[in-house]
Chain A
Amino acid sequence: MTGKAKRKGKRKRKKKKNFFIWKYLILTILFFSIILFYVWERVARLEAGYRIKEKVKQRDRLIEKNELFLSEAVSLKAPQRLERIAREELGLIVPTEGESIRRIVVK
């Protein structure tokens, strides 16, 4: 075998070797990318789950607050309370039969 042919063979082997290195490198990068993507996706899902739970908790707290405000509003509008205020604080009375009542209608 001539020296030229030997060099050609050497270059060919080197090229083949480089190709394998690149191939493995790309595959490794791809593999790790998939792994990283998988981990990132899991972490993102986890984080999203925590955020959803937090929002659900916030919603529940708002519902509770709403119920509390409703209970206060309804208690304040209880007819026995309104009657007590009307009679004791405002000095109003129930009109007796036949007594005319003037109503102011605001339009």
Chain B
Amino acid sequence: MITRWHKFRTFLILLTLTAGLIYLLQRLYQIQLVEGETLRAKAKRQHQIDFRLSPRRGTIYDRNKKELAINIAVDSIYANPAKIRPVEGTVRKLSALLDISPVVIEKKLKSDKAFVWLARKVKKGLGAKVKQLSSAGLNYVEEVKRFYPKGKLAAHILGFSGMDGKGLEGLELYYDRYLRGAPGWDQSEKDARGREILSFRNEYSAPINGLNLVLTIDEVIQNIAEQELEKAFQKSKAKGATIVIMEPGTGKILALANRPTFDPNSFQDYLPSQHRNRAVTDGFEPGSTFKIITAAAALEEGLFQLEDKIFCEEGFYRLAGRTIRDVHPEGWLTFKEVVEKSSNIGAVKIGMALGKEKLYRYIISFGFGARTGVDLPGEGKGLVRPPRSWSKLSLGSIPYGQEITVTAIQLVSAVSAVANGGVLMQPRIVDSIINKEGEVVKKFVPRPLRRVISPDTAKKLTDILVGVVDEGTGKAARLKEYRVAGKTGTAQVAGVGGYLPGKFIASFVGYLPADNPQIAILVVVDEPQGTYYGGTVAAPVFRRVAEQVMAYLKMTDNRN
């Protein structure tokens, strides 16, 4: 018989079961719908691995496959400040270990963030040492750092890459798409100890390492250039200095250096102005070195022969209300002597004989006023105004390199064209791109841009330029063993309202051996203190560099 007690018990059981069911449904709702997303993410974090696999950046070699930029493994140390106790003791130990000021570390450890970098890309092994200081709160990740084993050597050519491995300057920036490679992915699961379970791997794609660059630069020639430039820069207390060495027949750049310079391993410690590759970015008035172009145009047009006489007005010449002066006043000079003795008045008269249009045509043809297309970032065009913008005074300035600006790379390319018999070559700094196995992926063959003068004109001009070194203003560049062709330049520095008193740019550009040129060298010294003539400041640098480079080339030729 069913009593009330039975009914009550049945009701109680049903009530308990219903309450339990309601509770379970509520939890189900809570877990699946309310917290579902968060819990799924938490679970995923606990047992899933999702790594981005960084590729190795390509190596940069010189032309003899000597490494100029490589990669090394480093540690990056981070902290979770909330978990570090006691802060004071840890700060002291970290400061000693990482060689960072305690104030900087303390500031980072007192941050309310859950993640702070303590030191990025430090020496391998430091991470493990730091981790031992505190079991919780301090950790490290392994990363790859770009390393320039030759320090400051070729700094402006190589440039540098940032913390994220992206090229920021120089070749690192220009060829970033080849050097950087492509990242890979690893999506897998891990066990309770954090080890990856390979059999549960969902997706894996290996990183593709970057390609390697082989430059036209020779590190020995680069070193010679840098050492001599540094000496001249220090001695003359100049504001800046540049040297470019080119193979005239191919346009290959063998060395390029600037002062002031920087160490790409610690580029952040230098001013941005020190990172600038002045040889390709900065324009300057070339001064008398530009007489090479004026003379080339006049010879090519057949307006003058080498022995034709030009009256140089005894050093003073009035043109459109302005007086043009020569440092050494001269009367009648032959065309050859005008260049040898670097007469401004003689150059102006040659320019006037050419006229605006023809002179301008040759200036443009020699590559001025346009980028050369050298494979370096930030190349400048220089400044060449069209003849319609020239004033009455322009023909009294441009023939000897005023009222016009050129870049060092443009000037050395133009002179290389004279050296190789009249063909303007595109300057290049990368010879080829190779893969890990050393197979050539892309080869940059020498590229002739156009013929600018005939071989006959080039030969006549070479004779004149040999005369400059043997008899004229460039005697300091003379070598016993080789015939050197070259031209000095001393240009005033233009400022607001005219030329700045006492500020000059001394330069020398030349090539050797004059009969079969192997190298063309340009030396530019910006605002030297004391003596400022191209013939006394830049020409000796040219000689010392040329002497050593030729000895080195002869030695390597013999060896080969």
Q: Would B481 and A80 count as touching, CB distance under 8 A?
A: no
Contact (A80, B547) CB under 8 Å given A68-B72, A68-B124, A71-B72: no
A77 CB contacts on chain B under 8 angstroms: 66
Tell me, yes or no, whether A104 is within 8 Å of chain B by CB. Answer: no
Contact (A67, B70) CB under 8 Å given A53-B198, A74-B150, A75-B149: yes
Task: Kindly list the 3 A-B residue pairs having the minimum CB-CB distance in the complex, ordered from nearest.
Answer: A49-B198, A64-B73, A79-B223
Q: Would A45 and B72 count as touching, CB distance under 8 A?
A: no
* Majority secondary structure of chain B interface residues (helix, strand, loop or mixed): mixed
Q: Residues on A close to B: CB < 8 A?
A: 42, 45-46, 48-50, 52-53, 64, 67-68, 70-71, 74-75, 77-80, 83, 94-98
**Residues of chain B in range 119-152 having any CB-CB distance to chain A below 8 Å:** 124, 147, 149-151
Q: Would B70 and A74 count as touching, CB distance under 8 A?
A: yes
Smallest distance from the beta carbon of A11 to chain B beta carbons, Å?
A: 53
* Majority secondary structure of chain A interface residues (helix, strand, loop or mixed): helix
Smallest distance from the beta carbon of B183 to chain A beta carbons, Å?
A: 16
A-B contact pairs, 11 of them (CB 8 A): A42-B199, A46-B199, A53-B198, A64-B72, A67-B73, A71-B147, A74-B150, A78-B150, A80-B151, A83-B223, A98-B481
Q: Residues on B close to A: CB < 8 A?
A: 66-67, 70-73, 124, 147, 149-151, 153, 195-199, 219-220, 222-223, 226-227, 479-481, 547-548, 551
Q: Would B150 and A79 count as touching, CB distance under 8 A?
A: yes
Report the bound CA distance from A77 to B67 in whole Å: 10
Q: Would B147 and A80 count as touching, CB distance under 8 A?
A: no
Report the bound CA distance from A77 to B64 in whole Å: 14
B481 CB contacts on chain A under 8 angstroms: 97-98
B124 CB contacts on chain A under 8 angstroms: 64, 68
By CB atoms of chain B within 10 A, which of A45, A46, A49, A95 has the most?
Answer: A49
A45 CB contacts on chain B under 8 angstroms: 198-199
Contact (A79, B70) CB under 8 Å given A49-B199, A98-B480: no
Residue from the list A67, A75, A78 in contact with B71, Cβ < 8 A: A67
B547 CB contacts on chain A under 8 angstroms: 94, 96-97
8 more A-B residue pairs beyond the given contacts A67-B70, A80-B226, with a C-beta to C-beta distance below 8 A: A64-B72, A71-B72, A77-B66, A78-B153, A80-B153, A96-B547, A97-B479, A97-B481
Report the bound CA distance from A68 to B71 in whole Å: 9
The residue on A at minimum CB distance from B479 is A97
Q: Would A53 and B72 count as touching, CB distance under 8 A?
A: no
Smallest distance from the beta carbon of A64 to chain B beta carbons, Å?
A: 4
Q: Would A78 and B195 count as touching, CB distance under 8 A?
A: no
Smallest distance from the beta carbon of A4 to chain B beta carbons, Å?
A: 59
Smallest distance from the beta carbon of A59 to chain B beta carbons, Å?
A: 13
A68 CB contacts on chain B under 8 angstroms: 72-73, 124
A98 CB contacts on chain B under 8 angstroms: 480-481
Smallest distance from the beta carbon of A67 to chain B beta carbons, Å?
A: 5
The residue on B at minimum CB distance from A94 is B548
A94 CB contacts on chain B under 8 angstroms: 547-548, 551
Residue from the list A42, A46, A80 in contact with B223, Cβ < 8 A: A80
A46 CB contacts on chain B under 8 angstroms: 197, 199
Smallest distance from the beta carbon of A51 to chain B beta carbons, Å?
A: 9
The residue on A at minimum CB distance from B74 is A64
Report the bound CA distance from A94 to B227 in whole Å: 13
